[in-house]
Amino acid sequence: MGKYALWLSLVASLSLLLGLFLILPGDLPKAERIANIQLQTPLRILSEDGKLIAEYGEKRRIPVLFEDVPDAQVQAFLAAEDSRFYNHPGVDFKGLARGVVQLLTTGRIRSGGSTITMQVAKNYFLSPERTIKRKLTEIFLAIQIEQELTKSEILELYFNKIYLGHRAYGIAAAAQVYYGKSISELTLAEQAMLAGLPKAPSKYNPLSDPERALIRRNWILDRMALLGYISAEEISLAKEQPITARYYGQRSELNAPYVADMAREEMLARYGEGTYTDGYEITVTVNSELQRAATSALRNGLEAYDKRHGFSGAESKTDPDKAVPEVQGALVSLDVHSGAIRALQGGYDFHHSKFNRATKARRQPGSTFKPFIYLAGLEKGLTAASRMNDAPVVFDNGTGGWRPQNSGGRYKGAIPLRQALYESRNMVSIRLLDHIGLSYAEEFLGRFGFDVSAQDRNLALALGSAALTPLQVVKGYGMLANGGYDLEPYLIEQVKQNGRLIYQRADTPRSEPVVDPRSVFILQSMLKDVIQKGTGRRARVLGRQDLAGKTGTTNDQHDAWFSGFNGNLATSVWVGFDEPKTLGKYEFGGRAALPVWIDYMGRALQNETEFDMPMPEGVVTSRISLETGLPTLDPSNSYFEFFRAEHAPRLDQLVNSKRVNDLEEMMLF
């Protein structure tokens, strides 16, 4: 039998030599190409603090460096697949000859056919067809690869390419799929289990056939002991371990599917379909803690609304025991200095509705739009102390007259712009827009990115009739927060491809402000009054003096808003139904949206010191009479108001009571 085996081995060797003549040199792929081969690696999206948000791609793969693979894991694969790996030139001729003997004597090869290097050659260059020519090509390629690469480099390629079942390519992905761990966290028993998979990923799979997988695992442990890799005690302890594998879906450390989908769409626009396979890893601007706060705050707010109205909502696709409210909402939060999106939630549940309301839902912003009209008025020369008439008026719109009203139907007569804004007086806002003119207002609003040219050109613009997304609204508020400088919201901070940085968002130099920072400072003080004594006073619960904002409610309570900021962070919240209908009686911005904003900002700013926009040069204060809106020296019934220096009242404007009525009449329009 020994002579027979020797003869067969000789035949095997002659067969190899014959193969040299069967394959033309030009038919062989160049082994040096392997260094440039692109693994099909899925798109990975990380938060700015390194939390995995999502992966997109058919193949689950987490590239790993050889030096990061534990020694025991390497030894487990060598024991299972190629124990003479470090001693052969890419082909184990003894094992190959043994395989030929088996083929000739039994009609099939049971062992000894393929080395790890040959598997690398096959996986990277060749098709899975089972022919003699392909096998010979595999052998010659393996020899070439050994000449081009070190053993460690070959193992790294192997560990990243090998298919291990359940869409897991490479050992790092398999560790996550079967154990929810990184490779450095695996036990010896788990390492041996992974090493048993390459031979037949479905046959020896611990999820599909745990009994057979257990037998394979223990055989590998025995082999490791036989080769001197582990001690008798280690093998005994490892064999006692039960199978702990179970299927772990996509490992996500941060639930932010709306953010992930936005990033995915932007990557597709930049890099095309290769986005899903070419090893891209992107870091977005979203902070994990702020994102969790945003998701929680919006859901809490929508559930509270749902509870107030006794709605059952729709069944959730992610949790059958939890109903999804029919009412929807969105929250967007920006860094007001850079435009980086720090948190974004586009609805209650992405899996129930993938429509991103934060970026795609164009809704009327209502009174949250008023600050921009007031700022335009300040730029036109009005002041926070300018008085306008809060009284009914009828405008001829060609269809019988437009009769706007204040919420609640109450009017106060002549009041300063400051009071009109924090009490959200519709009639004053309309008169203000009429005073500055629609043409000027449209040009001014364009500086904040609001294109209102497609809207009906009328004074309803003062009440927020333009259709805007929450992202557009928060951009405008971010510019109010940063002193009037242009701001471009962005999500992607950097892009790496296979570990190499290929894109890093550059800091853009700050241009000139689009509006006088002094006017912005004065408007900020007016918006702070919204919180301290106006429609947003519920936010006083946060106990901060650096908060400013504005409520918003549209006709029949179809949309509820609150947008606000401090010196670093601007946040807009919208609540409404996808198919517009009333939110119900008393569901104004201060009730439906403001609690969401408070919940989020309370957590977002809990460790942040108060930060205000510094007062620009050229802003002065003057004591103003609450009764007349005129300068006074009387400390009673008066307050200090901010003015641009050139618009500050002069001492010679001080008047006696006999002239007050005449002057007040002049200021009504």
Do the strands 43-46 and 280-284 form a parallel or antiparallel pair, or are they unpaired?
parallel
Closest CA to 162 of 127, 135, 197: 197
Q: Which residues contact 214 (CB under 8 A, 6 or more apart)?
A: 206, 243
Instruction: Please give the pLDDT value at position 133.
Output: 67
Query: Are the CB atoms for 534 and 422 separated by under 8 Å?
Result: yes
Residue 139 lies in a domain: yes
CA 48 to chain centroid: 9
Residue 320 lies in a domain: no
Domain span including residue 631: 619-666
Residue 31 lies in a domain: yes
Q: Which two tokens stand for residue 153?
A: 């480099």
Going by pLDDT thresholds of 50, 70 and 90, the confidence category of residue 669 is very low
Give yes or no: 265 in active site. Answer: no
Residue 612 lies in a domain: no
Query: Are the CB atoms for 561 and 589 separated by under 8 Å?
Result: yes
Give the pLDDT mean for 364-387: 96
Pick the last residue of a domain from 240, 258, 276: 240
Give the pLDDT mean for 466-484: 97
Lowest mean pLDDT among 24-38, 162-176, 515-529: 24-38
At 74, which CATH number?
1.10.3810.10
Tens digits of per-residue pLDDT, 135-147? Answer: 777 787 888 888 8
* Cα separation, 349 vs 351, whole angstroms: 5
Instruction: Please give the pLDDT value at position 665.
Output: 35
> Bigger pLDDT: 152 or 402?
152
Lowest mean pLDDT among 17-26, 482-491, 525-534: 17-26
Using the predicted structure, report yes or no on whether residue 479 has a pLDDT greater than 60. yes
Closest CA to 287 of 247, 245, 334: 334
Residue 189 lies in a domain: yes
Instruction: Please give the pLDDT value at position 666.
Output: 34
Pick the catalytic residue from 114, 288, 333, 367.
367
Instruction: Please give the pLDDT value at position 401.
Output: 72
Query: Are the CB atoms for 321 and 293 separated by under 8 Å?
Result: no
Going by pLDDT thresholds of 50, 70 and 90, the confidence category of residue 159 is very high
Using the predicted structure, report yes or no on whether residue 3 has a pLDDT greater than 60. no
Give yes or no: 424 in active site. Answer: no
Residue 209 lies in a domain: yes
Overall residue count recorded for the chain in this entry: 669
- Give the 3-state secondary structure percentages of the chain, helix then strand then coil, rounded to 5: 45, 15, 40
Pick the last residue of a domain from 189, 210, 240: 240
Q: Which residues contact 237 (CB under 8 A, 6 or more apart)?
A: 188
State how many domains the chain has. Answer: 2
Instruction: Please give the pLDDT value at position 607.
Output: 92
* Residue 547 one-letter amino acid: L
Q: Give the range with max mean pLDDT: 10-19, 26-35, 280-289, 308-317.
A: 280-289
Q: What is the DSSP string of 283-349?
A: EES--HHHHHHHHHHHHHHHHHHHHHHT---EE-SS-TTSEEPS-EEEEEEEETTT-BEEEEE-SS-
Pick the catalytic residue from 48, 81, 156, 641.
81
Give the pLDDT mean for 1-20: 52
Pick the last residue of a domain from 240, 268, 295: 240
Tens digits of per-residue pLDDT, 337-351? Answer: 999 999 999 999 999
Residue 329 lies in a domain: no
Residue 441, H or E segment: helix 438-446
Residue 66 lies in a domain: yes
How many separate helices (H) and strands (E) can be counted in the chain?
22, 16
